[in-house]
Copies of this chain bind each other. A is one copy, B any other.
Amino acid sequence: MAVSHSVPSLPAETRSVRNPQLGPNGSLTHLLTLEGLPAEVIRHILDTAVPFTSISERDVKKVPLLRGTAVFNLFFENSTRTRTTFEIAAKRLSADVINLNIGASSTTKGETLLDTVDNLVAMNADMFVVRHSQAGAPHLIAAHLNRTGRNHVHVVNAGDGRHAHPTQGLLDLFTIRHYKRDFANLTVAIVGDVLHSRVARSLIHGLTTLSTPDLRVIGPQTLLPTAVQSLGVRVFHDMRAGLLGCDVIVMLRLQSERMRGALLPSAGEFFKHYGLTMEKLALAKSDAIVMHPGPMNRGVEIDSAVADGEHAVILPQVTFGIAVRMAVLSILAGN
């Protein structure tokens, strides 16, 4: 199989409808990608998430903001973890949640994606959380809703192919801001399989928009997009050089299919060069934070001593992820 090394981008038919996520007055109608999302919209989401972090610590973890609202989890690709975070976020807002694992249903019956969507809109859905293995699927749905005058129904991209995973990007931004206050003086390194990572792509767009001055990607040639510099990042193939002076280190998950493929010699070899150990971590600033989108491959991209150590903010990322998703759903619902 030929491996594409270009920066993943949307297929041609979706490019013309690339940014249907903002309404005429600039307010958020859908959340599809952090690419092109204005800094003030990103900041508004992050600010809205702050008070939601405390709801999750209360005994009664619920607010009635979305009572009677129907949130459909439309998962064309299985992802228990992401589906669960959205389900919890929606339930904490008192929404009614309908989980649809679409792989096994209508699309196998020959119905088109947009017919499926039209049917669910006809059931008076208020919001779709969409996960799809194909880049651009959430865009197509959002553009279809806009075009047919039904943008009171909102789409949230929960991961589409190698394209984007905006709520993960937002929770990463939230976490960085929480620990580092400000993006103005930060050095951030994203390490590992950037090529196949929608997480990396969304975070790069977010950090760039928020004017992070020193943004680096670290990885072997085979796992970096060829024109990655065009996104405004510096490229390092030597992890030690790349980690020097970093405030934030974002480790990416190495998917096991990469390890079996031609892109990498072996998991052990990868760990030697690009796995984060305490020794390599010492090259970063002494108060550096270590992030990971999960699930982790301990001993492949990250050593357990780091994963469980005091620099890791991997579990707080998960907690903030609920608050950020509550913020997104709540903003889209007009609250």
Contacts and interface: CB of A to CB of B under 8 A. Distances in A.
15 contacts: A57-B124, A59-B69, A78-B104, A80-B100, A80-B104, A80-B106, A84-B98, A84-B100, A88-B98, A91-B98, A110-B295, A111-B294, A111-B295, A118-B315, A119-B315
Interface string A56-67: 111111100001
A22 interface: no
Given A61-B96, A109-B256, 17 more contacts: A61-B124, A62-B67, A78-B105, A80-B101, A87-B98, A88-B98, A92-B96, A110-B256, A115-B295, A115-B296, A115-B298, A116-B295, A119-B295, A119-B315, A122-B318, A123-B318, A124-B319
A322 interface: yes
Interface string A178-200: 00000000000000000000000
Contact of A298 (B109, B112, B315, B321): B112
B61 A123 contact: no
Contacts of A317: 122
B106 A322 contact: no
Per CB-CB distance, the 6 closest pairs between chain A and chain B, nearest first, are A60-B68, A80-B105, A111-B295, A122-B318, A56-B124, A122-B315
Interface residues of A, number: 55
A85 interface: yes
A297 interface: yes
A324 to B, nearest CB: 12
A124 B80 CA distance: 16
Q: How many copies does the complex hold?
A: 3
A178 B104 CA distance: 33
B81 A119 contact: yes
A50 interface: no
A162 to B, nearest CB: 17
A42 interface: no
Contacts of A116: 295
A256 B111 CA distance: 12
A102 interface: yes
A317 B119 CA distance: 9
A36 interface: no
A316 interface: yes
Given A96-B91, A109-B295, A61 B69 contact: yes
A283 interface: no
Contacts of A67: 60, 62
Nearest to A82: B105
A296 B80 contact: no
